[in-house]
Amino acid sequence: MIEKQVLGPQERPDLRHWIPLSFQHVFAMFGATILVPLLTGLSPSAALFSAGTGTLIYILLTGAQVPAFLGSSFAFIPPLISISSAYGMPYALGGAFAAGIFYCVAAGIIKIAGTRWLDRALPPVVIGSVIVVIGLNLAPTAMSMAMNDAGGNYSLAMLSIAFVTLGVTVAANIFLKGFFSTIPILIGLVSGYVFTLVMGRFFSAYDIIDFQGVKDAVWFAPPQFAAPKFNFVAVLTFIIVSLATICEHLGDMLVTSKVVGCDFYKSPGLHRTLSGDGLATAWASLWGGPPNTTYGENIGVMAITRVYSVAVIGGAALIAIILSFFQKFSALIRTIPTPVMGGISMLLFGIIASSGLRTIVESGVDYKDKRNLTISSVIFVIGIGGGRLAFSVGGGVQFQLAGVALATLVGIILNFVFPQTKNR
């Protein structure tokens, strides 16, 4: 790390600093980027490849003005799981592709009309409540991974692995300083993995790591092109969820602007940053990768190091691409035990929900106003309770809208229907 020196977005470090600074960003994004494909059944190699290439696409479209790394989006985990379970993963990838194109459409509207229409459709009471739903909707998945063995039965051994992983991750997040404070997920993941290996030497209940897949994998192979498929339900589900992630993008750009000291809302403009995010997401779906989003972890690295160089971010993207070609590395990632991922998820999914609460609190949403109270209440119950709208349309095709997507849609409708009056 370059001590007491600031590199602006257009500056480049010398090579001896460039490589470690870029690796630092790789470490910061790595845990979260591979976690999403592991939770949804996608390929970690594809996630790394699409994150790296997507970041380069973003840099190109923003004229190399914005230092932002794009990685796997947690907000799209529920639709990835639900659509792939109902129709198959190709349809989930098709929905992700459609969401990326919708980003570009929204970017065009923002260029013409500004962001006021988005503020009207998704005020803090709606977007904050939806983010809470996204996090809590995933809570049962986290606990199932943390408590159950491969057969779906409760296991105290699995729970102990999850708690060790969670404990180390929380401690790293709270107590570590400097660079290590930016990679608590990676530290917790490695600690949980080592704990499982050590305990597996002495107790058969912990012997759950199988390296056969690593032995069978080839050393080097390019990521495989995927073939997304499309149906109305998948496309609509992902587009509705993307309304929330578009607002997340606006927030990330605001935070990045404050950290770097540049107004990225004006230059290169939100329409270009959002288009870059959207095209990176559409591109990722073509390679079997999850939708992308600008990463707060990497914003944190920039805030700590005071290095805002786009070239450093580009270097991290190239490193991610190189790693994606090593298939034994991908196979090794797949050996990470499910309870280790469960322990990580217990924290991460809770953080997602907490960030929604933070949005509500910092925006000053008044719950003495029955309008706000009603909108949040309905969103919570539909989203967390498993609300589902399903019916058959022409040709016997089943239409279904559920969970986060349905809760978001209902919240938007209620926001437009209820008058902007306050109960006094």
Return the SS3 of 335: coil
Name which residue leads in pLDDT, 169 or 122: 169
Question: Which neighbouring-strand residues pair with 393?
Answer: 397
Q: pTM (2 decimals)? A: 0.71
Q: What is the mean pLDDT of residues 383-412?
A: 71
Give the pLDDT of residue 377: 93
Q: In sequence order, which residues have a C-beta less than 8 Å from that of residue 128 and are 6 or more positions away?
A: 356, 357, 358, 359, 360, 363, 365, 376
Give the pLDDT of residue 331: 77
Any idea what DSSP says for residue 307?
Answer: B
- Comparing 87-96, 125-134, 276-285, 370-379, the range with the smallest average pLDDT is 125-134
Max Cα–Cα distance, the chain, nearest Å:
69
Give yes or no for residue 317 having a pLDDT over 90.
Answer: yes
Q: In sequence order, which residues have a C-beta less than 8 Å from that of residue 375 and are 6 or more positions away?
A: 125, 126, 129, 411, 414, 415, 418
Residue 244 and residue 121 in contact, taking contact as beta carbons nearer than 8 Å: no
Residue 177 and residue 304 in contact, taking contact as beta carbons nearer than 8 Å: no
What is the per-residue pLDDT across 254-306, written as a single tens digit (0 to 9) for each?
777 877 878 887 889 889 999 999 999 999 999 999 999 887 667 766 766 67
- Comparing 114-123, 200-209, 338-347, the range with the smallest average pLDDT is 114-123
Give the pLDDT of residue 176: 79
Give yes or no for residue 151 having a pLDDT over 90.
Answer: no
Return the SS3 of 126: helix
Q: Cα–Cα distances in Å, from 381 out to 1, 78, 132, 378, 411? A: 47, 16, 11, 5, 11
Q: What is the mean pLDDT of residues 336-353?
A: 82
Give the pLDDT of residue 397: 47
- Comparing 225-234, 235-244, 366-375, 413-422, the range with the smallest average pLDDT is 413-422
Give yes or no for residue 349 having a pLDDT over 80.
Answer: no
Tokens of 7: 């590199």
H/E stretch holding 316 reads helix 310-324
What is the per-residue pLDDT across 231-260, written as a single tens digit (0 to 9) for each?
888 898 899 888 878 877 876 787 778 778
Q: What does the alpha-carbon distance between residue 210 and residue 214 come to, in Å, rounded to a whole number?
A: 8
H/E stretch holding 140 reads helix 139-147
Q: What does the alpha-carbon distance between residue 386 and residue 381 come to, in Å, rounded to a whole number?
A: 8
Q: What does the alpha-carbon distance between residue 266 and residue 397 come to, in Å, rounded to a whole number?
A: 45
Give the pLDDT of residue 182: 58
Tokens of 165: 């992983």
What are the phi and psi torsion angles at 224 (to 5°)?
A: -95, 135
Q: What does the alpha-carbon distance between residue 386 and residue 407 come to, in Å, rounded to a whole number?
A: 9
Give yes or no for residue 2 having a pLDDT over 50.
Answer: no
Give the pLDDT of residue 284: 93
Give the pLDDT of residue 396: 47
283: number of CA atoms within 13 Å, CB side? 22
What is the per-residue pLDDT across 182-210, written as a single tens digit (0 to 9) for each?
567 778 888 999 999 999 888 887 888 88
Can you give the C-alpha Rg of the chain in angstroms? 21
Residue 202 and residue 357 in contact, taking contact as beta carbons nearer than 8 Å: no
Confidence of residue 333 (pLDDT cuts 50, 70, 90): confident
Q: How high is the mean pLDDT of the chain? A: 83
What is the per-residue pLDDT across 34-87, written as a single tens digit (0 to 9) for each?
878 888 888 888 899 999 999 999 999 999 899 989 988 877 888 898 889 889
Q: What does the alpha-carbon distance between residue 97 and residue 88 come to, in Å, rounded to a whole number?
A: 15
Residue 340 and residue 292 in contact, taking contact as beta carbons nearer than 8 Å: no
Name which residue leads in pLDDT, 103 or 338: 103
346: number of CA atoms within 13 Å, CB side? 23
Tokens of 328: 């034994």
